[in-house]
Amino acid sequence: MREVKKKARAKINLALDVIGKRENGYHDVRMVMQTIELHDKIRLKKIKSDKILMKTNLPYLPKDNRNLVYQVVEYMKATYGIKYGVYIDLYKVIPVGAGLAGGSTDAAQSILAMNELFELGLDVDTMEEIGAKFGADIPYCIRGGTMLAEGIGEVLTPIKPIMKLHLLIVKPKQSVSTAYVYSNLNLETLSSHPDIEEMVNGIKADHLDQIVHNLGNVLEEVTFKGYPEVRTIKEAIISVGALGALMSGSGSAVFGIFSDQGTAHQAAKKLKRHEAVKQVFVTTTYNVL
């Protein structure tokens, strides 16, 4: 095998709760995570030199060991004694700094691609262990689908695959610092917490209203204060006909759930003209077969 191509799909958080903080600074979370069709493309190819060469479509992305994909490939080459070099071609579509796990999903698919390309024979648990060294979302992105994530995000419990949801993803011009959001999160003053069990039950029952009603993300309280444009975007999505809307992760992207794809496309046209909007995508949920 000379090369492997992968789709690195984004994720959204349908519900995100923070329930504690550890002594090492990490937060304990309970989240309902969902893969969506919006994706980057990644291609890994064997080359005769022993180097790692990287190309991306975005000139500002690092192409050395400051890049998570490069780090993963470098680690696996060293760990498994791979003598070949690797050429990485990363085509980014998922917005950067948006709370959609763009970097994590690229890293996850790189682990899967390295396993295939060099026929390493690694099982999913081993690949998740590798991923966890580089980011809390990477184990989830290796598995994908509809999951309850606990611990710092690495304890994963599959949920029945969600019904197809029609989604509008909006990235404001502002990007959000995840470090800022978590460092300014005060668990004592949170006004409300999402009902994770009810979200899970809604997914299991294929009950759209129950899913929409139980959308919730405790990080919105912090992000909206520091980045008011994100609140503005959420309100704008609701105003153009979304059944419900929620910030994904720590932001800055916000997604809306729509009754059908046509309505979502109509809303996208309106939101592209909004002064605070940078990017708009119409997509759907993706379930792992």
Residue 137 known to be catalytic: yes
Which is catalytic among the residues 11, 77, 171, 234?
11
- Three-state SS letters, the chain: CCEEEEEEEEEEEEEEEEEEECCCCCEEEEEEEEEEEEEEEEEEEEECCCCEEEEECCCCCCCCCCCHHHHHHHHHHHHCCCCCEEEEEEECCCCCCCCCCHHHHHHHHHHHHHHHHCCCCCCHHHHHHHHHCCCCCHHHHHHCCEEEEECCCCEEEECCCCCCCEEEEEEECCCCCHHHHHHCCCHHHCCCCCCHHHHHHHHHCCCHHHHHHCCEECCHHHHHHHCHHHHHHHHHHHHCCCCEEEECCCCCCEEEEECCHHHHHHHHHHHCCCCCEEEEEEEEECCCC
Residue 11 known to be catalytic: yes
Which is catalytic among the residues 17, 40, 106, 137?
137
Provide the annotated active-site residues: 11, 137
